[in-house]
């Protein structure tokens, strides 16, 4: 029988979740058939304040009453206030802001500015990176979705991700020493036509399998970029505004990017993104005729939501909360690990946590089918998690609840995960084998 949800919708990502949602509050989603589900994906990793935060609602209501949208060259109070707020939040000299809508767009704009400023076009990204699915930015999106859409942008290069559990250059085992980064830049130098423009990186590679670079990775990347006159672009779509236990992911080891893209977590569920850079880069690009006008650049309504999000993060101490609760979540998962041979690796920073599933810890063979069955069973039992990809496999669970999550809710999630793993393997022991 045809699924009613598929009758009029293009299936943009394979299929849809086996439920329809009526409402959501805090970390909980309520389905049409009255079930409550713990949301360990924060929507699409956007709802860091939890669902239905009254402050976002109030800000939106005010905007609906006063001002929703304007011509792109007209500015409004929420836009001016948010730009100033962001400029003050970022370290010097990052003080120039453009307000956009999605993560793909914020990254595209960052790379447009980088190209115009340097006069070069070659951009490097990390293998297993995800930066968005519009054609320009997808060219340096190395975790998925290159096949079938024709040519990508020339000058897109991949360097190996610092994936310590499965070292891409077969060098480290469990602890990355950044050899992959040195090798990556050697490869880059040998392939370049002399137009190296920028490196784009996530502080933690989320969609590519929650890969946490070792301390010192971004500072060394900064040095390697500087030596070549390349800019460093940091994509904070998932990590900005607290998720990793610092306001921004790049702060972890004190690196200063040239351009930063923030998105998902800025709007708390409302489409809002920003690209931030220095006055020097902005002035140079404007002098060269920088152009990026869209229907919703500098829109007042999403800016009002962004201001509310920043207020709540501050007032509720959510950055510290993410650090604490993230530590708790990691500890609970590591306690669970010895009980299940299929939990190969538990890793993460703050409230961005990955659990890599394997046939057994000795072989480390990716257990893709187990991942699919486990997320389905967990959802049935009331816990929504993503399965994300680690290389060619899709065997990494990603746990990224709202930053407002309580310890009791984390305990409930661990209980469901544990019970689901036992139930799935009890019913289908063959899933403990490799993919």
Interacting residues toward ligand PLP by CB under 6 A:
102-104, 107, 130-132, 202, 206-207, 235, 237-238, 263-264
- To which residue do tokens 């040998």 refer? 190
In the complex with ligand PLP, the residue whose CB is nearer, 102 or 127, is 102
CA dist 119 and 348 (Å) reads 37
In the complex with ligand PLP, the residue whose CB is nearer, 277 or 420, is 277
Q: Is 290 exposed, middle or buried (0-12, 13-18, 19+ CB in 10 A)?
A: middle
Instruction: Pinpoint the alpha helices (H) of 297-365.
Output: 300-315, 318-336
Summary count for the chain: helices (H), strands (E): 13, 15
In the complex with ligand PLP, the residue whose CB is nearer, 104 or 420, is 104
Nearest residue (beta carbon) to ligand PLP = 103
In the complex with ligand PLP, the residue whose CB is nearer, 234 or 358, is 234
- The 3-state DSSP composition of the chain as helix, strand, coil percent (nearest 5) reads 40, 20, 40
Token output for 111: 């790379």
CA dist 235 and 238 (Å) reads 8
Report, in Å, the least distance between residue 270 CB and ligand PLP: 12
Report, in Å, the least distance between residue 272 CB and ligand PLP: 10
Task: Compute CA distances 31 → 36, 37, 46, whole Å.
Answer: 6, 8, 19
Report, in Å, the least distance between residue 129 CB and ligand PLP: 8
In the complex with ligand PLP, the residue whose CB is nearer, 207 or 298, is 207
Report, in Å, the least distance between residue 191 CB and ligand PLP: 24
Report, in Å, the least distance between residue 248 CB and ligand PLP: 13
Token output for 289: 């005729």
Strands in 28-31's sheet, in edge-to-edge order, are 21-25, 28-31, 36-39, 383-384
Report, in Å, the least distance between residue 238 CB and ligand PLP: 5
Which DSSP state fits 365? Answer: -
In the complex with ligand PLP, the residue whose CB is nearer, 202 or 368, is 202
In the complex with ligand PLP, the residue whose CB is nearer, 382 or 402, is 402
Any residues with CB less than 8 A from the CB of 373 and at least 6 apart, and which? 424, 428, 431
Report, in Å, the least distance between residue 236 CB and ligand PLP: 8
Task: Compute CA distances 60 → 27, 42, 218, 270, 341, whole Å.
Answer: 20, 19, 37, 9, 48
Strand 28-31 to strand 21-25: parallel, antiparallel, or no bridges (unpaired)?
antiparallel
Report, in Å, the least distance between residue 134 CB and ligand PLP: 7
Is 196:159 a contact under the CB 8 Å cutoff?
no
Cα 156 → chain centroid: 20
| Alpha-carbon Rg for the chain in angstroms | 21
In the complex with ligand PLP, the residue whose CB is nearer, 206 or 277, is 206
Report, in Å, the least distance between residue 261 CB and ligand PLP: 7
Report, in Å, the least distance between residue 44 CB and ligand PLP: 7
Q: Smallest Cα–Cα separation from 406: which of 307, 309, 332, 315?
A: 332
In the complex with ligand PLP, the residue whose CB is nearer, 247 or 432, is 247
Is 161:208 a contact under the CB 8 Å cutoff?
yes
In the complex with ligand PLP, the residue whose CB is nearer, 103 or 402, is 103
Is 113:279 a contact under the CB 8 Å cutoff?
no
């Amino acid at each position: 029988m045809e699924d009613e949800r598929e009758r009029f919708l293009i299936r943009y990502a394979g299929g849809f979740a086996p439920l329809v949602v009526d409402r959501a509050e805090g970390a909980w989603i309520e389905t049409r058939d009255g079930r409550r589900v713990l949301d360990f994906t924060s929507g699409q990793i956007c709802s860091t304040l939890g669902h239905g935060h009254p402050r976002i609602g109030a800000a939106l209501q005010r905007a609906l009453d006063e001002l929703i949208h304007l011509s792109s060259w007209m500015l409004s109070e929420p836009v001016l206030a948010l730009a100033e707020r962001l400029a003050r939040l970022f370290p010097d000299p990052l003080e120039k802001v453009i307000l956009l809508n999605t993560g793909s767009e914020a990254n595209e704009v960052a790379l447009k500015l980088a190209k115009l400023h340097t006069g070069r076009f070659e951009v490097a990204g990390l293998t297993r990176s995800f930066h968005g699915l519009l054609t320009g930015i997808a060219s340096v999106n190395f975790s998925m979705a290159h096949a079938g859409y024709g040519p990508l942008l020339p000058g897109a290069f991949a360097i190996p991700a610092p994936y310590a559990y499965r070292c891409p250059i077969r060098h480290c085992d469990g602890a990355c020493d950044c050899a992959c980064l040195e090798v990556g830049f050697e490869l880059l130098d040998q392939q370049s036509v002399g137009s190296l423009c920028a490196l784009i990186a996530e502080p933690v590679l989320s969609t590519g399998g929650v890969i946490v670079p070792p301390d010192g990775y971004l500072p060394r990347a900064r040095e390697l970029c500087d030596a070549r006159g390349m800019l460093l672009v940091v994509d904070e779509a998932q990590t900005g505004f607290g998720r990793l236990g610092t306001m921004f992911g790049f702060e972890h080891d004190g690196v200063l990017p040239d351009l930063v893209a923030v998105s998902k977590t800025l709007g708390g569920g409302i489409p809002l993104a920003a690209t931030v850079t220095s006055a020097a880069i902005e002035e140079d690009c404007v002098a060269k005729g920088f152009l990026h006008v869209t229907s919703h650049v500098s829109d007042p309504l999403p800016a009002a939501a962004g201001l509310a999000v920043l207020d709540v993060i501050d007032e509720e101490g959510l950055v510290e909360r993410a650090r604490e609760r993230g530590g708790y979540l990691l500890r609970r998962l590591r306690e669970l690990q010895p009980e299940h041979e299929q939990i190969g690796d538990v890793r993460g920073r703050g409230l961005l946590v990955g659990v890599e599933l394997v046939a057994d810890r000795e072989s480390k063979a990716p257990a893709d089918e187990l991942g699919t069955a486990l997320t389905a069973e967990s959802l049935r039992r009331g816990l929504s998690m993503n399965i994300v990809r680690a290389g060619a496999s899709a065997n990494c669970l990603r746990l990224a609840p709202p930053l407002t999550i309580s310890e009791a809710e984390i305990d409930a999630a661990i209980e469901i995960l544990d019970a689901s793993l036992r139930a799935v393997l009890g019913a289908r022991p063959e899933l403990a084998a490799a993919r």
